[in-house]
Each structure stands twice: as structure tokens, then as C-alpha cells.
Amino acid sequence: MIKFENVGLRYGIGPEVLSDISFALEPGSFHFLTGPSGAGKTSLMNLIYLGRRPTRGLVTMFGQSINDLDRRKLTPIRQRIGVVFQDFRLMNHLSTFDNVALPLRILGRPETEIQNNVNELLEWVGLGGKTNVLPPTMSGGEQQRIAIARAVIARPRLLLADEPTGNLDDDIGFRLMNLFDQLNRMGTTIVIATHNQAVIDKLGHPRMVLEGGRLNIESTAQKNWIQKKIQGVF
Amino acid sequence: MIKFENVGLRYGIGPEVLSDISFALEPGSFHFLTGPSGAGKTSLMNLIYLGRRPTRGLVTMFGQSINDLDRRKLTPIRQRIGVVFQDFRLMNHLSTFDNVALPLRILGRPETEIQNNVNELLEWVGLGGKTNVLPPTMSGGEQQRIAIARAVIARPRLLLADEPTGNLDDDIGFRLMNLFDQLNRMGTTIVIATHNQAVIDKLGHPRMVLEGGRLNIESTAQKNWIQKKIQGVF
Amino acid sequence: MFVQKDRKLGVADGKRQYDLPLNRDEGSGFLILLIALMTFLAVLALSASFVLRTMGDRWSSGLENKLTIEVPAESANETHDGIVISNENVKSLTQEIAEKIRHHPAVKSADILSDSEIQDLISPWLGEDVSLIDVPMPGLISVQLQVTTPETLHALEKAARDISPTARLDTHETWLNDLLRFTGAMQFAALIITLIIGATTFTAVAGAIRSRMAVHKDEVELLHLMGAKDDYITSQFQRHALTLTLQGCVVGVLGAGIVMVLIGLISGDTGGALIPDFRLGIVHMIALFLLPVAACGISALTARHTVLRVLAGMP
Amino acid sequence: MFVQKDRKLGVADGKRQYDLPLNRDEGSGFLILLIALMTFLAVLALSASFVLRTMGDRWSSGLENKLTIEVPAESANETHDGIVISNENVKSLTQEIAEKIRHHPAVKSADILSDSEIQDLISPWLGEDVSLIDVPMPGLISVQLQVTTPETLHALEKAARDISPTARLDTHETWLNDLLRFTGAMQFAALIITLIIGATTFTAVAGAIRSRMAVHKDEVELLHLMGAKDDYITSQFQRHALTLTLQGCVVGVLGAGIVMVLIGLISGDTGGALIPDFRLGIVHMIALFLLPVAACGISALTARHTVLRVLAGMP
Ligand SMILES: Nc1ncnc2c1ncn2[C@@H]1O[C@H](COP(=O)(O)OP(=O)(O)OP(=O)(O)O)[C@@H](O)[C@H]1O
Ligand SMILES: Nc1ncnc2c1ncn2[C@@H]1O[C@H](COP(=O)(O)OP(=O)(O)OP(=O)(O)O)[C@@H](O)[C@H]1O
Ligand SMILES: [Mg+2]
Ligand SMILES: [Mg+2]
């Protein structure tokens, strides 16, 4: 579904932040993306959601090579991707409802469908009583939940989440991870960048580790041993 | 040093976010502030760093009751407080160096002193090679470290940090917690709001727990049992 | 300044206007004010330029098309001091010029003034008692023209000079030439000002849209990344620019109208033929009404172009 | 538009100017342009108003201070058609008015026109051959004044009317009155425009500062929370407003100067006394130079006031 081949990225004239990144994501897969701060997790996500073109290498999305695709042809690809940004990127002048409804509106869905879907999802992430509130008057965790709701509302075929639980307590954090898991079971491919070891351990999906601009994919089997050990403790 | 008596806060005509908050922080103390998302941690910090006046109740800071203090008299109090905001609040047009130097410049310190102190601290938080970079081109964790450096550069007598390690991996997270500990040993009073159970457990300072708008302070003794248990595991 | 319509989304009535908070930008009222002022000044300057042209035309054509040709009694030909020419000589020269001039197509009539007529004209300067025979008398031809044009005047002057090199044209209206020159300068200034104003408005709108693009760059980029088509984004800016310009133009044109009526009231009842009323022809009216229409069109296009260019820079 | 000085901080040379990115705001060039345009127009309008006043003064005083008082041969007193007064009666009335008027301080001389003089004046209308004794002759007094002022004219008219109610003042210059009225209206318009421009500039600067305050509210609040004194923040905005206004004013005044020189070149060599040159007195020059100075002062104060008010709203 998504294939990177020898992809490299540099910002301006700086050093290569990502070099020789090669991987393929199967439809319906679920990966964690980890690595120390500044390793390039956000940068890699940026490449996947087409926020930037790579400096070199081949990128294939949904079977189309995007390297020499026309600008306009990227629009339908983008509509199939949901993103939770590390810094949320909410529209501060739009209410919680309208922020979450935005992807549906861009797709031109009928307003009644929007009304139902959005309200249901907001209820589910614990923001049912805050549909008409503006993001700047909400707590960090609440904003993060809006960002997550917005990313999943249009049932994207690919979901990218950058540190989606950094501002959430463990309870609501696991609840949202379950939401991702549920989506994954319905066929959505998922990549989550996170530092939260507890979450990674609990869900046990394979890890993509970025270090020094290179990417390693650790199999699930490798992790199972540690996971078992921890579960045995409690 | 800081005393809240029956403090309440409501935003506009909404419900009371904080009610009957009463506590006192001794000079040189270190507390964690926890509670579920939306409990009011950021709001309480806001009251402490004088970003808002409480709706009711008495607040005493550094021995002065601030309830009927003139606006201008608050300025020297503010200069003694360092804050790490949950959303960083960096100046996007200023370089890393200038962001961190800002508190010293406001205090009118000589430029040579600024130069030395800032460079040393940036080195320490792992941003030595990024002094001339603008915040928007940095990773989430790098920005968070700038925010922390800015809060501590002027050796404040009170340090407030709101979720200061949410975007950091455990390594650099503990390193910064050590920085806070060090400052604390030199006399700075510290309050850190965090969801990160690992950090709370490891350092073992008393917890202030916000729940339903009320505040409970859990003694260190209470936590010690759990902490020991965990340490025994590894 | 203007009632801000509630653009709040989330109401399922299909009235959704903006995803971007364009209408809440602080600068909007300010831009409207600027456009209003520009329109106001442009309408005034343009009207002034029209009025001045009408005025100039009327002055140069409406006054009696009369002039006098003087054949002095001195000839400056030979010496510095001039030689006095005999009265008979003057008379024959005058006769000759009159004959020649009469055939010019622009000349209605050319009459030689009689001695007594000349005496009437001269007496205020020389006194009643001086006998005409004692002084050298100039020859005078009173000419009535069909229309006064600079070309005709030049032709007549040349014709007269060919016969008597010292002949002089006196249009009685040198001050009018001054006035016409002045009016021309004013008209020029008015047009220059209109042009400057137009350019400024254009720059202002383009600048404002560019600045709004900059302020909302993150939001625009977000929409783009979510898969919004270029048109989805462009149309919001376009509608915004159009609305602002329209509001500004209406205010400006109304203001200018009021001021013009005021000026009309103050200067309008002069009644004299010299100063025409501040009434404009139908062509001018149309030109004045095209001004705001053009402004709206230009600013919508400017907005579209500006936004598309920024969008083209996004991956 | 203007070379942006490098305000980058972190260089230990004490040249630190702004913590806030005011000088990088997109709107700056635009505001400079606006202020330049406003200054340009204000200087032009003010100059025009001065020139018009000078022109009006010269026209009303500079022309020959002559007028004629006519004592008609008909009295409109009793009947609609009027009664013809005997020539002797007219003569005595005329004499009486002339005597009375001579003592008015503004009157230099007042001469009664002789019959032959009157005939000279009338002959163009009645023909040379009509004997004066056959028609009722009006009495005419040629008056030379020191200066022509409306008050003098009114006084003279009243004096004449006291003696002969049908007496009429003829200044030969009714068209001049029209012109003066027109000039007055133009002058009024120029002043109104200057005032509107001033108000707009004021609003624009206040609006721009308020909008910058809004854009940088978070940053200002941050500085405030870090313990920055009000002055620390205010002075940055103040300096910013001052810089922008100064740049705008310089451009505007220069532009206006160029246009005035241009207009002077086009209309300046008229040489006629009727249209004065576009030369301004020293007082006017000072007034024109005070304009930008006042603009700078006002905008610095506006900025200070605006920012202080926002800061006062912070806890
Ligand atoms: N727009 C940009 N321009 C220049 N450099 C950038 C830009 N964005 C990121 N970088 C640099 O690229 C490197 C990787 O950044 P990135 O945000 O991808 O890291 P990350 O893995 O997401 O880190 P974190 O866990 O702290 O969020 C960093 O050194 C950062 O300074
Ligand atoms: N400026 C504001 N105006 C109105 N309501 C606000 C404002 N700021 C916060 N709130 C509300 O007050 C409550 C407490 O918010 P606060 O940010 O203090 O929570 P928090 O404990 O910091 O949560 P988190 O862990 O998610 O950051 C929330 O319900 C939030 O919506
Ligand atoms: Mg990141
Ligand atoms: Mg918070």
C-alpha cells in the first residue's frame, strides 16, 4: 500500500534528516514509530502524508508513484489519509464540532450525515458536552482528543498519529489506543509515533525505530519476551 | 511561600473549574500535580504564575497577599517565577538562543553574562548545535527543551512546569527531571504537572491530585510502598 | 463598523461561508475604510477632472469670438526707436489686412474702425481735447470669428504680420488663456491623483490578501493537506475580497455623492455662464459608476491570483 | 519596499530593538504606503487650499478698484412701469450721490461722467446718430476705490440707495464674484479632504496598532507574564509606529513636492497676474512641514495609548 525506496530528506541546505529509508506498509498493518527526540519521526510522517516531497528516493502511495504525479492528482490521495499532528493544528476559530466536521465537509458529505457522525464520535472521546467550545479554551488533553477525532472521522484508509497521547492520562490514552485498534481491525493501516513505552508494550505491534536517520523494523516476536515479563509482574 | 485559601476559579459564566483549593507550598518543596485530563491542572498553574486572578479566595505569594495588590507591584513577583507552558509558547521569530535569553533580557542583565549562561544551558539540554535555529523548524521534543531552558535560565525562586516531558523520550526526560531536582536542591520551589506515572514514581515527591475541582495532597509516605515494589521488579 | 454576519459553522442550513476566519481579521474594517476613502477621492478627482474639462471647453468656446487687430503707427523695421508711419500708410495697410482676413473661413466679419470709433477708445488715455490729426493713429480692425481656436489665431496673426510686421492680435482674453492653462494643470493633477489612487487600491488589496494568506498560512496548509481542492480555498478569499471592496465602494461613492451635492449647493447658484454647474453628463456618470464595478472585479481577480500563486508553492 | 534592518537578537552589541516581530509583519509596507499616500494628498490639498486663498485675495484686491454707480432715468417708486425722471432731476441726484460718496474713507475719487462720455459708452447700443437730448439719460459716477471689500461695496450701495432708491452699483466684475465663489467652494472642499485624510490616517494607525496587538497578543502576554514592565512592551510598539509613519511621511512629502513642481512647470509660466504662481509663503511652508511632524507625534502617542489600554486589561 505504501512503499518507500531509498528515500532521503534534508531541510534546505542542512544535513540529511532521513537517509535511505526503505519500507513497505501492508494494508491493515499497525506500526509504532519510535526513536529519540529529533530522530525524524515527524519528518517521516510528513513525507507519508504528502506534506513534503522527499529530496530523493521513490514513494508509492495506494499503488501510485507520487514522484512525478501532478499536484492536482495528489488531492484524492490526501483525502484517504487521516493525520493527528504532534502540535494538533486545530482551527482556533472553529468550534469543536466544526473542527471535527472539517474533513467531511471537504469531502462534500451531506450535513445530516456530518451531524450524526461527529456528535457520536465526540461523545465517544469524552467531549460530548463541549461541541460548541473553541479549542483555545480547552485543556491540552481535550485539544488532543479533538485532533484524534478529526483524524478518524472520515474513516481514512491510512491513519498517522504523532505522539497522540502525550497530553493524556493513561485511562483515556488506552481508550484511544483501543479506538485505533478497532479502526485497524476494520482495515485502516495505522502508524503511530510515540515515546510512550507503556502503550507500545501493551499493544505489542511491530516497531519502526528511527535512529541517526536510518530506519529499523523490529518484529513483534522480538518484543514478546519483554512484554510477557512485564505482564507477569502485575 | 505560596498559600492558597479557599480559592475558586470559573471561566466566564461556566461552572467552577476549581473550588475551595487550599494549600501551602514551603520554600524548597517539590510537588507533582496530577489528575485526569481537564481536571484543572493548567488552570491551577495559571493562578500560581499570576496569569489569572482567582474568582474567589485568598492567594499569598512570597509573603504578599496579591488579592488587592496593584498591577505594577505584580511585576517583581512574576520575575521570580519560571514557567514551562504545556504548549511551550516560544517566540517563533526568535532563535533558540534569544528565546532562552528573554528572561535575562527582561531583567536587564549584561549581555556577556547572558551569552555565557545561555550557551552553557543549551549545551546541557542537548541543543548546543541549534542556537541560531528558529523554533518552528525544530522537533516537538527540541521545542519542549527550549521551553524548559527558558523557564530555568534566570534561576527562579518558583518553577512551574506543565507536562514538561510529554514529547520527550525517557532518557532525556529523566535528564531534565534531574535538572529540576538539582534546582530544587539549590532552593527553588517546584511544581510539576504530569501524567507520566514513571517519572512520578521514580522521583517520589508528594503528589497534589486534582479531581472534580478539588485538591488532595498525598504524602510521600503513602507512595513509598508502591515505589519500593516497582523498584524491586527491575 | 459593519454588522458581522454570524458565520458560525455547525448549523446545517447550507449557509457555510468560510472555514478560514477571514471575516474576523482585525484589518477588515480598516481595509473597508481605506477602499471607501480611495473610492471617495477617486470619484471626486474624476468628477473634478470632468467638470474642469467642461468648464475649459465652455470658456474657450462660449465667450464672444471677438478680437482686434492693431496696426501700430510705428514701424519697428529699420531702427530701434521705430519710424513713425504716416496715417495714410497705416490706413492702406489696415485696409489690405482686412481684405485678406475676410476670406479666411473662420472669419465672420472684419470691420475697420472709423476715426471717431478709435477716438472713443483712445480718449480715456489721451483726453477728450486732443485733436486726432495731431497724433499718429493706429489702424484697428474689429474681427468676429465663427470659433476661436489657437490655429485660427495663429493663421490670422501670420496673415497680418505678412503685411505689417508690427501688427498685433488682441483677443481681449489673455487672462482667459491663463485660466485655461490653469484648468489644464488642475485637470492633469486630478487625473494623476485618480491613477495613483487606483494603483494604491490595487496594491492595498493585493497586500491585504497576501498578508491574510500569511496570517492564515497554517490554516490554508492544513486544508490543503486534508485534501481540499484549490478552488475550495481560493473561493473563500475571493468572496472575502469582493465583500470588502463592495462595502468600501458603496461607502466611498455615497460619501463622494454627498460632498458633491454640498459643493453644488455652495457654488451651484452662481448662475453665471462662466462657471458651469457641477452637473455631469450621462457618459461621465457611467464612467463614475464603472469605477466601483472595476474595483470589485479587480480585487476579486487579484485575490484569486494571489492565493493560487501561494497554493502552487505547496507540494 | 524598504531595506529591513537586521533586528536579529543574540548579538551582544546592544542594538536590540524588538522582542516582538513587529517589523516583519506583512502589513508594514502597506501601512507605509497608506501613510505616504495620505501625506501626499494632504500636502496637495492643503497647498491647493493655500493657493486658492492667495488667488482669491489677489483677484478681489489686485484688479483695478473701479466701479460705476448708475442712477437710472426711470424711478421704480410709484408704478410698475416706472416713471421717467427729467434729465435735470437725474443730474441733481447724481451730483448729490457723488458728493456724499467722496467723503467715504475708501473712496479715492468719484467723478460724474459728462454727457459726451456717456454717449461714448452708449453709442455701441444706440448708434452714433441718436441725439442725446431725445433719450432719457442715466447719471453715471465713475468711482475709484482704495481697496475693494464687500463692506465698502455695501456701504456705497446703501449711500446711493438712500438718495436714489433705484441706484445700481456696477463693478464690471460679476464674473469675478462667480469665480471667487467657486474658489471658495474649492477651498472648502480641499480643507474637508485634508480633515478626512487626517482622521483616516489616525484611524489607520490606531487600527494597525490594535491589529498588531491582536496578532501578537500571545507574545505580548508572554512578555507580561515573564515580568516585563509595561514600558518595555509599549516602547517597542511606539518605536514601530514612529518608524512607519516617518517613512510614509517622507515618501508622501517628497511625492507631493514632485507633483507640485510638475504642476508649477505646466501652469507656472502663465505670467499673468490673475493666476498666482504655485509659490507658497513661509507660513504656509511651515504649516506644510508641521503636517508630517504632527502625524509622527500623533501616531506614536496613539500607539502608546492603544498598547497601554490592552496591557491594563491583563492581570
Ligand atoms: N521545517 C524544518 N526545517 C528545518 N529543520 C527541521 C524542520 N523540521 C524538523 N527539522 C529538524 O529535523 C530533525 C528531525 O525533526 P523531527 O521533528 O522529525 O523529529 P522527531 O523525531 O519528530 O522528534 P520529537 O520526538 O522531538 O518530536 C530535527 O533536528 C529538527 O530540528
Ligand atoms: N480559557 C478558558 N476558558 C474557558 N474554559 C477553559 C479555559 N481554559 C480551560 N478551560 C476549561 O477548564 C477545564 C480545566 O482545564 P485545564 O486546562 O486546567 O485542564 P488540565 O488539568 O490542564 O487538563 P490536561 O491534562 O488535559 O491539560 C477544562 O474543562 C477546560 O475546558
Ligand atoms: Mg516529532
Ligand atoms: Mg493542562
Condensed to tens digits (0 to 9), the pLDDT of residues D217-264 reads 888 999 999 999 999 899 888 888 888 889 999 998 898 888 877 777
Where does a domain end: B120, B155, B190? B155
What's the average model confidence in pLDDT over A78-97? 93
Residue A201 confidence (pLDDT): 84
* pLDDT tier at B169, thresholds 50, 70, 90: confident
pLDDT greater than 60 at residue C12: no
Residue A152 confidence (pLDDT): 95
Tell me: do C54 and C137 sit in the same domain: no
Domains held by chain B: number? 2
What's the average model confidence in pLDDT over C174-180? 59
* pLDDT tier at C280, thresholds 50, 70, 90: low
Tell me: do D155 and D191 sit in the same domain: no
Tell me: do D215 and D295 sit in the same domain: yes
Give the whole-angstrom CA distance, residue D147 versus residue D65.
Answer: 6
Where does a domain end: D136, D166, D196? D166
Contacts of C57 (CB under 8 A, 6+ apart): none
Mean pLDDT of chain C: 72
Tell me: do C185 and C104 sit in the same domain: no
Q: Mind telling me how many Å the CA of B90 is from chain D's nearest CA?
A: 8
Residue D38 half-sphere exposure, CB side, CA atoms within 13 Å?
A: 31
pLDDT greater than 60 at residue C175: no
Higher pLDDT, A230 or B105: B105
Q: Which residues surround ligand 4, an ion (CB under 5 A)?
A: A 139-140; B 41-42, 86
Residue C10 confidence (pLDDT): 30
Tell me: do C51 and C109 sit in the same domain: no
Contact flag D211-C26 (C-beta cutoff 8 Å):
yes
Give the whole-angstrom CA distance, residue D161 versus residue A177.
Answer: 106
Tell me: do C158 and C180 sit in the same domain: no
Nearest Cβ partner for B49 among D24, D218, D225 = D225
Residue D111 forms part of a structural domain: yes
User: Which chain C residue shows the shortest CA-CA distance from D183?
Assistant: C267
Tell me: do A67 and A96 sit in the same domain: no
What's the average model confidence in pLDDT over D257-281? 60
Residue D202 forms part of a structural domain: yes
- Residue (of D162, D168, D198) closest to D71 by Cα position: D168
Residue B196 confidence (pLDDT): 82
pLDDT greater than 80 at residue D289: yes
* Closest-lying ligand 1 atom to the alpha carbon of residue B136: 1
Cβ pair D146, D65 in contact under 8 A: yes
Residue C300 forms part of a structural domain: yes
* pLDDT tier at D273, thresholds 50, 70, 90: very low
Mean pLDDT of chain A: 89
Where does a domain end: D120, D142, D166? D166
Residue C155 forms part of a structural domain: yes
Residue C2 forms part of a structural domain: no
Residue D139 confidence (pLDDT): 78
Tell me: do C180 and C297 sit in the same domain: yes
pLDDT greater than 70 at residue D314: yes
Burial of A69: CB neighbours in 10 Å, binned 0-12, 13-18, 19+: middle
Q: Mind telling me how many Å the CA of C22 is from chain A's nearest CA?
A: 10
Share of chain D above pLDDT 70, in %: 68
Q: Mind telling me how many Å the CA of D206 is from chain B's nearest CA?
A: 24
Tell me: do B19 and B69 sit in the same domain: yes
Tell me: do C207 and C287 sit in the same domain: yes
Residue B143 confidence (pLDDT): 93
Tell me: do B148 and B160 sit in the same domain: no
Tell me: do A182 and A145 sit in the same domain: no
- Chain D residues near residue C184 by CB distance under 8 angstroms: 266-267
What's the average model confidence in pLDDT over D178-189? 70
- Residue (of A141, A142, A135) closest to A99 by Cα position: A135
Tell me: do A20 and A116 sit in the same domain: no
Tell me: do D54 and D182 sit in the same domain: yes
Residue A13 confidence (pLDDT): 87
Residues of C with CB under 8 A from a CB of A: 8-10, 12, 14, 16, 19, 21, 24, 218-219, 222-230, 232, 312, 315
Residue C215 confidence (pLDDT): 78
Tell me: do B148 and B173 sit in the same domain: no
CATH of residue C86 = 3.30.70
Tell me: do B87 and B192 sit in the same domain: no
pLDDT greater than 90 at residue C85: no
The range of the structural domain enclosing residue B128 comes to 81-155
Give the whole-angstrom CA distance, residue A38 versus residue A43.
Answer: 9
Contacts of B194 (CB under 8 A, 6+ apart): B32, B33, B34, B163, B164, B165, B166, B200
Give the whole-angstrom CA distance, residue D214 versus residue D217.
Answer: 5
What's the average model confidence in pLDDT over C117-146? 61
Residue C171 forms part of a structural domain: no
Tell me: do A234 and A161 sit in the same domain: yes
pLDDT greater than 80 at residue C147: no
CA–centroid distance, B139 to ligand 1, in Å, is: 4
Tell me: do D186 and D287 sit in the same domain: yes
Where does a domain end: B123, B155, B187? B155
Tell me: do B47 and B160 sit in the same domain: yes
Tell me: do D289 and D248 sit in the same domain: yes
Domains held by chain D: number? 2
What's the average model confidence in pLDDT over B146-172? 91
Where does a domain end: B155, B184, B206? B155
* pLDDT tier at C271, thresholds 50, 70, 90: very low
* pLDDT tier at C223, thresholds 50, 70, 90: very high
Residue C68 forms part of a structural domain: no
Where does a domain end: C106, C138, C166? C166
Winning range, highest mean pLDDT, from C42-51, C100-109, C301-310? C301-310
Tell me: do C191 and C158 sit in the same domain: no
Nearest Cβ partner for A111 among C14, C222, C224 = C14
Higher pLDDT, D37 or D83: D37
Residue D52: count other Cβ atoms within 10 Å of its Cβ: 21
What's the average model confidence in pLDDT over A175-183? 89
Query: Helix count (H) and strand count (E) of chain B?
Result: 8, 10
pLDDT greater than 80 at residue C270: no
Mutate to test the pocket of ligand 2, among B13, B34, B43, B48 (most ligand atoms within 8 A of CB): B43
Nearest Cβ partner for B168 among A145, A168, A195 = A195
The range of the structural domain enclosing residue D87 comes to 73-166
pLDDT greater than 80 at residue C173: no
ipTM of the complex as predicted: 0.74
What residues does ligand 2 touch, defined as CB less than 6 Å away? A 137-142, 167; B 11, 14, 17, 35, 37-43, 86
Residue C129 confidence (pLDDT): 47
Share of chain B above pLDDT 70, in %: 93
Residue A160 confidence (pLDDT): 96
CA dihedral for C227, C228, C230, C231, sign (positive or negative): positive
Contact flag A86-B171 (C-beta cutoff 8 Å):
no
CATH of residue A230 = 3.40.50.300
Give the whole-angstrom CA distance, residue D143 versus residue D154.
Answer: 14
Q: Which of A81-85, D124-128, D175-179 has the lowest mean pLDDT?
A: D124-128
φ/ψ (deg, to 5) at D143: -110, 135
